[in-house]
Amino acid sequence: MKKRNCLKRIIISTLLLGIFVNCSSFNDILDTEKVEPLRTEIKIKIELEGFDSPQGLSIVLMNYLENIRIEKEFSGLSVPLDSLIPGIYTITISGKAYDNQGQLYYLNGGLVNQPLIKNNQTVEITVSGLKISPLVFKEIYYAGSAPNYFRDQFYEIYNNSDSILYLDGIYFAALYPSAATENKPVWPASDENKYVYTDRLWKFPGTGNQYPLKPGECCVVSQFAANHQLNIYNPNSPVDCSSSEFEFNMNNKNFPNQPAYDMVHVFYNGSSAMGTVPQYLTSVFGGAYVIFKIPENVPYDPVNDKSLQTRNLASSSTTLYAKIPIQYVLDGVEAGHNETMVKAKRMPVVLDAGMTYVGGTYNSLGVARKKIGENEDGTPILQDTNNSTDDFDRGLRPMLRRYGAKMPSWNHTLQ
């Protein structure tokens, strides 16, 4: 294409976008035989505090008319672009960056159809972002499938960070009461704002570094890690959980132990024994789920340390519940019957200010955390604002490893 024709196309595009240039200016440009490259500076204005000189952001400029793509990395709050062909560009800024406190954020911003036709032009782009929680619940399927099948429940946990994380010793619990209710339990007044409570506690096996999750990898914890679509279980089920990394094995001979690794049972009614209930399930109406990690130098033994046990003071029942320190919770998600049940929350707003739901039971629907970006390898970056009303897409057909999340190398199907 001749440069003169190229320039005419740029000007026509500019006119269509409503950019005002007087007629004499257009005539001058049209008579130009040579298009001179431009110098442009892109500056970013980050709406969040604490980003004096962010590292890790990249800028992409796309001129679709001329099929031009330019990509550069920021080193600070501006980036110069030399030898830029004049035209209409879509500009996108995105990436992971640490703030001054060492918290990791996903930042993004951009402009669509931005004219870059003047030399030494400066363009400012506003960038916003969300904090990236390292380990999060990515997908939860709790409602079960018709007619009344609940053994296909699963909980997917995802490494949303840019570092290797270890599952070893991390605890999992569904909080008490099992379903959202306005008839709430009463806990000791001295515990206020310190704990959440569970009737049963599990943790991941391992001695410290046996179960790594790389960035972009996830693990699936199933109630029963089988292919639920088989005729012996429930052909109506939407999921095959046989590739799950872990399961809650309750030693039920009717639902035999699967190749997935067993979660370690920690606590039930003041004991490490599982009790006589033949299965572990969370409410098909929606539970309040947490994962938490106790620091190595902090003792935590809710079976032998009676200060970590309590009763529901609103009941005459002698059932004992384990206390979970709020300060050690890595992620919490609350699910309920429907949107009106947010007033019956079991979880303090510091852990989850909202509630997600699927609107029914045995409907083969689940919830999945929203994707807000991608890592370089295409794996997702997930939203976590500590508000499950906003953070989750609801009423989805459940899917293991949605968005291309990766399976860890130690998954039993890869051995």
DSSP per residue over 56-113, as a string?
Answer: EEEEEEEETTTTEEEEEEEESSEEEEEEEPPEEEEEEEEEEEE-TTS-EEEEEEEEEE
Q: Does the domain made of 38-131 have the CATH classification 1.10.3470?
A: no
* pTM for the predicted model, two decimal places: 0.81
Residue 80 preceded by cis peptide, ω within 30: no
Question: Which of 127, 148, 117 lies closest to 38, judged by CA?
Answer: 117
For residue 26, which phi and psi values (nearest 5 degrees)? -65, -40
Contact 132, 197 (CB under 8 A): no
Render pLDDT for 154-186 as a digit per residue (tens, 0 to 9).
999 999 999 999 999 999 999 999 999 989 999
Burial of 236 (0-12, 13-18, 19+ CB in 10 A): middle
Q: Could you count the other beta carbons within 10 Å of the beta carbon of residue 276?
A: 5
Render pLDDT for 359-405 as a digit per residue (tens, 0 to 9).
999 999 999 999 999 998 999 999 998 899 999 999 999 999 999 99
Contact 249, 189 (CB under 8 A): no
**Chain region(s) in the chain for CATH 2.60.40:** 38-131
**H helices present in 151-222, as ranges:** none
Q: For the chain, give the percent of residues with pLDDT over 90.
A: 74
Specify the 3-state DSSP secondary structure of 350.
coil
What mean pLDDT do residues 132-153 have? 96
- Tell me the pLDDT band of 75, cut-offs 50, 70 and 90: confident
Alpha-carbon distance of 318 to 310, in angstroms, equals 9
What mean pLDDT do residues 181-203 have? 94
- Tell me the pLDDT band of 192, cut-offs 50, 70 and 90: confident
Residue with the larger pLDDT of the pair 74 and 196 = 196
Residue 380 preceded by cis peptide, ω within 30: no
The whole-angstrom distance between residue 71's C-alpha and the CA centroid of its chain comes to 27
Average pLDDT in the chain: 90
Alpha-carbon distance of 104 to 306, in angstroms, equals 37
User: What local confidence, expressed as pLDDT, does residue 35 receive?
Assistant: 67
